[in-house]
Structure 1
Amino acid sequence: MSVEGGASELVKVVALLGAGVVAVPLFKRLGLGSVLGYLAAGIVIGPFGLGWFSDPQAILHVAELGVVMFLFVIGLEMQPTRLWSLRGEIFGLGLSQVLACGLLLTGVGIAAFDLAPAAAFVAAMGFVMTSTATVMLLLDERGETSTPRGQRIVSVLLLEDLAIVPLLAFVAFLAPAAEAGGQSRWASIGLGMGAIVGLVLAGRWLLNPLFRLLAAARAREVMTAAALLVVLGAALLMQLGGLSMAMGAFLAGVLLSESTFRHQLEADIEPFRGILLGLFFLSVGMSLDLAVFGVQWKLILGGTLLFMAVKAAGIYGVARLFRGAHGDALHRTAMMAQGGEFAFVLYAAGAAAGIFDAQLNAVFTAIVILSMALTPLVVISLRWLIPREGESMEGVDVAEGLEGRVLLIGFGRFGQVASQALLARGFEVSIIDTDTEMIRSAADYFGFKVYYGDGTRLDVLRASGAENAQVIAVCIDKRDATLRIVELVKHEFPQAKLLVRSFDREHSIKLIEADVDYQIRETFESASAFGHAALLALGVPAAEAEEIAQDVRRRDIERLSLQVTGGITAGRDLMHSNRMRPQPLTEPRREGEALSAETAAVTQAAD
C-alpha cells in the first residue's frame, strides 16, 4: 500500500470515528438515543451525503460483527436451563408473531403494492425480521434486557434468527428456475444442521479445556485473542453452514454461560462489541440511497408507515392473544414494529433468485432502513402518548385501606433488603411503589404483595395507612420526590417515625434539616463494610481493622454535623486523603529506626 493510499484509509477511519463521536452525544442529549445518532451520521458521511464513502456495503459486512458480538454477550447471560425455560415463548410467542405478521404483510404487499405473491412474501418476511441490533441496543440503554419484559422480546428475536434459515431455503424454492435444485437444497439444510451439531459438540468438550489451558499460561492478550476466536469462529461455522452468524455467536455464548471464564470473556469482548455495533449503524445509514428516496419518497414513506402499522397490529394482537398485559404489548409493539438487518440478506437472495428487480430491492431496503430510524422515535413517543398510570394494571392492586404498622414506600433493591428485618420479626408491612412491572415481578417471582401508589400524593398516603402507621420508611431513589414525601409526612402524620433513604451527603443534610428521625446514605453501610473487608484482605489484624472502621464512622458523623451548620465543605480535615501523609490511629507496634541528625532536624521543623 502506498503512503497516499494508507493516509486515505486513515482519513476514512478518522471520519467514521469522528462522525460517531459528534453525532451520538448530540442525539442522546436531545433524548433521541444513540441508534438515531449513528444512522444520521452515516447518512451525512455516506455516498449519498458528503460522499466520503463510496462502498457502505463493505463497511456493513465488517460492522455486522458488532451484532455478532452483541449476541455472544447475550448468550453468556443465558444459561441452558434459563434458555430451556423460555422455550414456550421462543417457539410459541415467537413463531406466532412471525407467522401472523408475515401473513398480514404479504397481504399488504399484494393489495397495496400490487406485487406478485412471491415478491410480496419476500418483501413481507424481510420486514418481519426485526432488527436485533436496534432492539438490543434500546433494551440495553433502558436497562430492560434482563427484565421479564425484555426476555420475552429476546425470545422472539431468537426465533426470528432461527427463521432466516428456512426463509432463505424457501426463497430458493420460489425462484423462477428452481426445478432442478432440490437435491442441493436438501444438502444445504443438512450442512446447516451439521454446523449446529458441530458447534454444540465443540462448545461442550473443547472450549472450557481450551480456556483453562490459556488461563494457566497467564497471557492476558492470548485470552482476549481466544475470546475473539471463539466468537468469530462460531459465526464463521454458522455462515459456512448457511445459517445466521449472530445465531452461531449466541450459541457459543450459551455454551460458555456456565463456564468459570464467563465474566472474563464478557470483559474481553465488550470494547470490540461497542465499537463494531456503532459502526454497523453508521454503515446502515450510509446504505440509504437518497437518490432512490428522492424519486420514490412518497412510496417509501407511505410503505414504511403502512408496514410498521400493520406489523404493529400483528405484534399487539399476538401479545394479547398470549395473555400479555396491555403495557407489555404496547412496549413490544413499539420496539419491534420495524424491519431489520436480515432483510438485506433476504432481499439480496430474492434479487439473485429473480423474484425482485433492482428497483424493488432498493425501495424495500430504504423502507427497512427508514423503519429502523423511526423506531427510537416511536419508543420515545410511547412515553408521552401513554402516561405511566395508563400502563396496564393487570395483576396490580391500587393502594386502598392498608393498615400495616409500617408503611414502606419504594420496593427497589434498597426497599427489598430493608423489609427483611421487619418481616422476620413479624411486623405487618404495607408496601407501595409506582413501577407496575416491578410490582408484578415481585408477586410472580418472590411472593411479595406490593400495591400501586405514588407516595408524593397525600391521598395515596392516606389510602396506604399513613395515619395509623408507627413507622414510615421512604426507600425511593429520587431526591426531590423523597423531600416531598418527608414534607407531607412531617406535616400530616407526625405520629409516625420517619426513616429515609438518602442519595448523598447533600441530600442527608437536607433530611437532617427537615428533622427526620433517621436517614442513611444508600451506599454508606456497604462501602464501610467494603473498606473493612479490604483491611482484612491486606492482613490487618481484626481488632485493628475494627478500630479503624469505627474511627472512620466517627469522623463521618462529626463531619456531617459540621456540614449541617457550616456548608458542604466543612470538616474536610476529618477526611483521610491520599494526598496527605496519614496520621497513625494507634501507637506504632515497634520502635522506628534511628534518624540521621539531618533528617531529625527536618522532621522537627515540619512538626
Structure 2
Amino acid sequence: MQEDFRLIVDLVTVLAAAAAGGLVAALCRQPALLGYILGGMVVGPAGLKLIKELIQIETLAQFGVAFLLFALGVEFSFTELKKVQKIALGGGGLQIALTILVTVVVCGVTGAWGTLPAKGVFLGAILSLSSTAVVLKCLMERNETATPHAQVMLGILVVQDLALGLMLAVLPALDKPPEAIGKAIALALLQIGLFAAGAVAVGIWLIPPLLRLLAKTESRELFLLGVVALCLGIALLTEYMGLSIEMGAFVAGLMISEVEYADQTLTYVEPLRDVFAALFFAAIGMLIDPVFLWENLELILGLVCLVFVGKFLIVTPIVRAFGYPLKTALIVGLGLAQIGEFSFVLASEGQALGLVSRRIYLLILGTTAVTLVLTPFVLRLVPKLLELPWLKSFLDTADAPLEVACDLPLQNHVVVCGYGRVGRNLVKLLQEHKYPVVVIDQSESKIQQMREAGVSYVYGNGASLHVLEAAGVGKATGMAIAMPDPMATRLCLKRALELAPELDIVVRANHNKDIELLYQLGAREVVQPEFEASLELASHLLAGNGLPSWTIQKEMQQIRNSHYLALRPERSPSEIARDLEVAAAQMNSKWYPLPPGSPLIGMTLEETDLRRLTGVSLVAIRRSGGEEIDYPDIQTTLEEGDRLLVVGESNEQAAFDQLAKGKVAIPSENAPCQWLLVPEDSPVAGKTLSQLHMRRQYGVQVQAIRRDGKFIRFPGGDTQLLVSDQLLLCGGSYPLNQVQEWLSPPSEDSRVVEVPVIQVPVNEAFQELLTSDNQQEL
C-alpha cells in the first residue's frame, strides 16, 4: 500500500476506534476520553496491530493537545490568570521542587536506581508533572472550568508546562558537573524570558490588527485558517526554542483572549479541538501495553497508589497554605495526583540518555497510563466523597470564616455572594441607595479590594453554613448569589434557605441549563446574563421603532416570568434529564420510591410544601408508566408508583421519608406556619417538648427547630428547647399568638421571626392521619 494512503487508512482507523470507544463510554455513563483511550488500545500495536504508522499518528495527535491548550488560553485570559498567579507561580514551583526533593530522598534511602542523585531528580521531574489534557477535558465535560478549584489546577498546570521546557534543557546535563547544570538552567530561563517578552509584544501590536483584517474579509474559512496558522506557528516556535508545543498554543490563546474576536475564534476552533483531542487520547491508548500491565500488575498498582498518595500529600497542604478552603485543597490535590502525558516525553528522553533501562521505561509508561485512566473516575468520585457524613462534618468545621470585617451590619442587610464584576456592580448600586451590604468571597485579592473600598465582608466559602451564619443570612432582607462555580452556587442557595427559608434570593445562572434547577432549589429569581443582554438590546431597538414602552416592558417581563423559555434553545427531554442527573449527582440526591398508601399521593407539590417542612427539593418525578417530569411545578400531583428525585442532606431526606410514610403529618387545612425565636429568660428554655404539651394545650405542632445553623426535622417529645432556638410552629393564628406571648417574657420586644402565613390544604388521608394515634405527642 502507498505510504500516503497508509497514513490516511491509519488516521481513519484511529478516529473510528475513538468514536466507537467514546460511544461505549457514553452508554456506560463514563467520560468519553476513557473510550478514546480504550479505542486506541484496541487498534494499537499491543492490541489488534491495525496501526502501522504510529509515529505519524502521534505527531498528528499533538495537534489535539495544542488545540486544547489554545482553546483554554482563549477562555482563560490574562485577567483570569492573574487571579491565581500566587498559587500558580509560588504553589506550582513549590510543588515541582518538593516532588523532586522527596523522590531524591526516597531513592537515596531505599537505594533504588543506585546512588546517582541524577536518576532521582529525573524520576522526580517525571512525577511532578500532571496531565493538563486529561484534567482540562474532565473539567470541560463537567462545566467546571470557572470554579475556584479548576482555576487553581489550571494555574499550577500552566507552570508545570513551562517547567517542562526547563526540564528538557537540564536533562542532558544531569550527570555532568554542577557548572553545566547551572549553565543549562540559565540558558533555559533566558529562552523563557525572551519568549515571554516576544509574546507580550506580539499580543499587543500584531495579533489585534491581524484578527481585525481577517474579520473584515467576512470569510469564515479565512478567519479559521488564519487563527489555526497563528496557533500552530507559535506552538512550533516554542518547540524550536526547546519549550513545549502545548505551551506555545496556550500562550497563543492568551494573546487572542484579550481581543474582541475571542468568542468568534473559540466557536470556530472548538470542532477542530474536539476531533484532534480524541486523536490524542487514542494515541495515548496505543502506547499502553495490556500484556506488560498484566504481567507487572501488582508492581504497577503499587506504584500508582504511591503516586496518587504522594502527590496528594504534597499538593493539598500547598494549596491550603495559600489560603484556599480545605475542600478546594482536597479537590486540587486529588485532581493533580496523576502523572501527566508530557512525562512520556521526559521518559523517552531519559531512556535515550541512558538514565533508565527499557524495563523501567515501560514501568513508567504503564504507571502513567493507569493514572491517566483513573483520573476521570477520581474527579467524578470527589463530590460524592466530600458528602460522606464524617468528612462533610469535618469540612463544615474546617470551613469557618477566615476573616470577618469588624463593621458587619447585624440585621436588615443584603448579602452578596461573589465579588466579581457582577457582584462589585451590585454592591455599588446598593450602597448608592444606602442599603447595608455584606459580601462573601474566598479570594484574597478581592477581600483586599473590599478592605480598601470599606465594604463589609466575610472571607470564606459562600457554600459553608458557618460562613453564611457569620454573614447574618438569617437576619438579612435579601441575598444575591453571583458565584462562578455552578456547584457552589447551588449549595450556597440551598444552605442559605436552611438558615432563612423565606429569604428573597436572586441568583445568577452560569449556564442556561441551570435556570430551572435553581428555581427548583428555591431561588426567588434567576438571572441569566446573556438573555438579559438580549432583552435590553431588543427593548432599545423596539423603542426606536416606535413600540410603546409599556408594551415592551410587558413583553420583556413575560419572557422573564417564563424563565426565558422564549429565548432558550430547544432541548430534547433526554438532554434535560441527563443534565439534571449530572447536576443532582453533584449534590446529595436520591431516587425515592413513593410508598404504597403514602399520604402524599393525590396531593400537589404546593400542598405538601416539602421544602419548608423537610428541607428537600423535589427536582424530578418518574411515573410508573415511564413518563419523566423534570422540574415539576407546584401544581404537579403526586401519584401512586411515582419515583421522586429529591435533593437534600441526610437528615432532610430522613425527614422526607417520615413524611412520605405517614409517620408525621403536615399542617391541616388553613393552618398557618410561623418561625418563632426562643429568647433569653423564656419559660420554655431547658424543657422538653413532652413537658410543654404545646399540641394539647395550644393546638400547635413544632415541625422543625433551627439550632446553630442545623435543622432538627419533626423533633420528638424528648427534644429539649434551648435559648436562641428558632421553632417552626404550625397551627391556628390565635394559638400562634398565644404561644408567641408565652415564649417571650413581657419585657422583651419583638425578637420574633415573622414569615408569611401559608395556607396548606390537606386531603382526606391527612385529615384521618391528624386524628390517628401514630401522631407524635409534642
Q: Same fold (TM over 0.5)?
A: yes
| Deviation string, structure 1 residues 181-228 (Cα, Å, up to 9, x no partner) | 999999999878776666665555443333333233332211100100
Deviation, 1:100, is 0.7
Would the alpha carbon gap of residues 135 and 202 (structure 1) be closer, same or farther in structure 2, given more than 3 Å must change? Answer: same
Match of 2:644?
none
Corresponding residue number in structure 2 for 1:107 = 105
For 1:104 and 1:59, locate their aligned partners in 2 and report how far apart those are by CA, in whole Å: 36
Shift of 1:129: 1.4
Deviation string for 1:304-361 (max 9, x for gaps)?
Answer: 2112222222223434454554333322211111211121111111111122222221
CA-to-partner distance for each residue in 1:396-439, whole Å, 9 max, x for gaps?
4799x98412565976999887776654433445678xxxx758
Whole-Å Cα distance in 2 between the matches of residues 49 and 555 of structure 1? 59
Pick aligned residue for 1:405 from 375, 391, 412: 412
Amino acid in structure 1 at the alignment position of 2:41 = I
Mapped to 2, the partners of 1:510 and 1:98 lie a distance apart of 42
Counterpart CA distance in 1 for 2:343 and 2:431 is 53
1:522 — aligned with what? 526
Equivalence for 1:355: 355
Partner of 1:425: 433
Aligned residue in 1 for 2:555: 552
What do the CA deviations read for 1:103-129 (whole angstroms, capped 9, x no partner)? 112333455582133333322211211
- State the distance in 2 between where 1:508 and 1:296 align: 52
Q: Which residue of 2 aligns with 1:368?
A: 368
Contact 1:79 1:254 in 2 (8 A): yes
Partner amino acid for 1:15?
A
How far apart are the structure 2 equivalents of 1:456 and 1:328?
A: 12
Number of equivalences = 542
> CA deviation digits over 1:430-476, x for unaligned, max 9?
678xxxx758786455555258899999xx9899574x66x456869
SS of the residue corresponding to residue 522 of structure 1 reads: strand
Once residues 360 and 165 of structure 1 are traced to their aligned partners in structure 2, the CA distance between those partners, rounded to angstroms, is 23
Give the AA of the match of 1:329.
A
Matched, 1:223 2:188: no
User: Cα–Cα, structure 1 residues 527 and 67, in superposed 2: closer, same or farther, change >3 Å?
Assistant: closer
Conserved in 2, the CA contact under 8 Å of 1:176 and 1:355?
A: no
Q: SS at 1:260's partner residue?
A: coil
Q: Normalized per residue, which structure has more helix? A: 1
Deviations along 1:254-291, whole A, 9 cap, x unmatched? 33333333333222222212222232222212211112
Deviation of 1:69 after TM superposition, in Å, equals: 2.0
Task: Name the CA shift for 1:529/1:339 in 2 (closer, same or farther; >3 Å).
Answer: closer
Matching of residues 303-318 of structure 1 within 5 Å: 303-318=303-318
Check conservation: 2:414, 2:438, Cα contact below 8 A.
yes
Change (3 A) 1:272 1:531: same
Q: Where does structure 1 differ by over 6 angstroms across 4 or more consecutive aligned residues? A: 1-4, 179-197, 409-420, 439-442, 451-457, 460-463, 474-490, 499-511, 554-560
Deviates most, 219-228 or 99-108: 99-108
Gaps of 5+ in 2: 564-604, 607-631, 636-778
8 Å Cα contact 2:401/2:459 also seen in 1:
no
Contact 1:403-1:465 at 8 Å conserved across structures: no
Structure 2 residue 26 is matched with structure 1 residue 25: yes
Cα pair distance change 1:251/1:551, threshold 3 Å: closer
Q: CA deviation at 1:499?
A: 6.8
Q: In 1, are the aligned partners of 2:100 and 2:124 still within 8 Å (CA)? A: yes
Within a 5 Å distance, the mapping from 1:100-499 to structure 2 comes to 100-111=98-109, 114-116=112-114, 117=116, 118-174=118-174, 202-386=202-386, 387-388=391-392, 390-391=394-395, 392-393=398-399, 395-396=401-402, 403-406=410-413, 423-428=431-436, 443=447, 446=450, 447=455, 449-450=457-458, 464=472, 466=474, 471=477
Q: Does the residue aligned with 2:296 lie in a helix, a strand or coil?
A: helix
Structure 2: distance between partners of 1:291 and 1:102: 30
Structure 1 counterpart of 2:316, one-letter code: Y
Residue type of the partner of 2:220?
Answer: R
> Cα–Cα, structure 1 residues 445 and 373, in superposed 2: closer, same or farther, change >3 Å?
farther
Deviation at 1:486, TM superposition (A): 7.6
Residues 105 and 311, structure 1, Cα contact 8 Å, conserved in 2: no
2:41 alignment partner, one of 40, 43, 51: 43
Partner of 1:604: none
Pair 322,280 (structure 1): closer, same or farther in 2 beyond 3 Å? same
Counterpart of 1:405 in structure 2: which amino acid?
Answer: N
Cα distance in structure 2, aligned partners of 1:526 and 1:174: 54
Give 1:374 shift: 2.1
Q: 2:254 and 2:518 mapped to 1: Cα distance?
A: 43
TM superposition shift of 1:536: 4.2
Residues in 2 aligned to 1:473 and 1:183: alpha-carbon distance in whole angstroms: 58
User: What secondary structure sits across from 1:114 in the alignment?
Assistant: coil
Tell me which residue corresponds to 2:57. 59
For the residues of structure 1 that align with 2:409 and 2:163, how far apart are their CA atoms? 50
| Amino acid paired to 1:59 | I
SS in 2 for 1:362: helix
Give the direction of change, closer, same or farther, for the CA distance of 1:482–1:106 in structure 2 (3 Å limit). closer
Secondary structure in 1 matching 2:457: coil
For residues 464-507 of structure 1, what are the alpha-carbon distances to aligned partners after superposition, in whole Å with 9 as ceiling and x for unaligned?
574x66x45686999999799889968xxxxx786777987899
Amino acid of the structure 2 residue aligned with 1:522: V
Are the counterparts in 1 of residues 10 and 52 from structure 2 also a CA contact under 8 Å? Answer: no
Instruction: Report the CA distance between 1:526 and its aligned residue.
Output: 7.9
Distance in 1 (alpha carbons) for counterparts of 2:537 and 2:226: 34
> Residue 204 and residue 529 in structure 1: after superposition, are their counterparts in 2 closer, same or farther (change >3 A)?
closer
Q: Secondary structure at the match of 2:288?
A: coil
SS of 1:255 mapped into structure 2: helix
Q: How far apart, in 2, do the equivalents of 1:102 and 1:265 lie?
A: 39
**Counterpart residue number, 2:641:** none
Contact preservation (8 Å) 1:350, 1:356: yes
Question: Who is 1:15 aligned against?
Answer: 16
C-alpha distance in 1 between matches for 2:401 and 2:556: 44
Report how far residue 12 of structure 1 moved.
0.8
Does the residue aligned with 1:218 lie in a helix, a strand or coil?
coil
Q: Which runs of 5+ in 1 are unaligned?
A: 491-495, 512-518, 571-607
2:538 paired residue number: 534
8 Å CA contact 1:74–1:253 kept in 2: the answer is yes
Give the Cα separation in 1 of the matches to 2:246 and 2:156.
Answer: 14
Letter matched to residue 106 of structure 1: V
Q: For the residues of structure 2 that align with 1:557 and 1:362, how far apart are their CA atoms? A: 59
- Structure number with higher strand proportion: 2
- 1:27-62 CA deviation, whole Å, 9 max, x = no partner? 5x35xx444443344334444345444555543332
Distance 1:398 1:290, change over 3 A: farther
- Which deviates more, 116-125 or 333-342? 116-125
Structure 2 Cα separation of the partners of residues 84 and 532 of structure 1: 31
The answer (yes or no) to whether the contact 1:192–1:238 under 8 Å persists in 2 is no
Q: Which moved more, 1:208-217 or 1:348-357?
A: 208-217
- Separation in structure 1 between the aligned mates of residue 559 and residue 320 of structure 2, nearest angstrom: 54
Q: Do the aligned residues in 2 keep the contact of 1:528 with 1:549 (CA within 8 Å)?
A: no
CA distance in 1, matches of 2:230, 2:246: 13
Sort the Cα spacing of 1:183 and 1:382 in 2 relative to 1 into closer, same or farther, 3 A: closer
1:473–1:144 distance in 2 versus 1, CA, 3 Å: closer
Change over 3 Å in CA distance of 1:318–1:17 after alignment to 2: closer
CA distance in 1, matches of 2:241, 2:297: 38
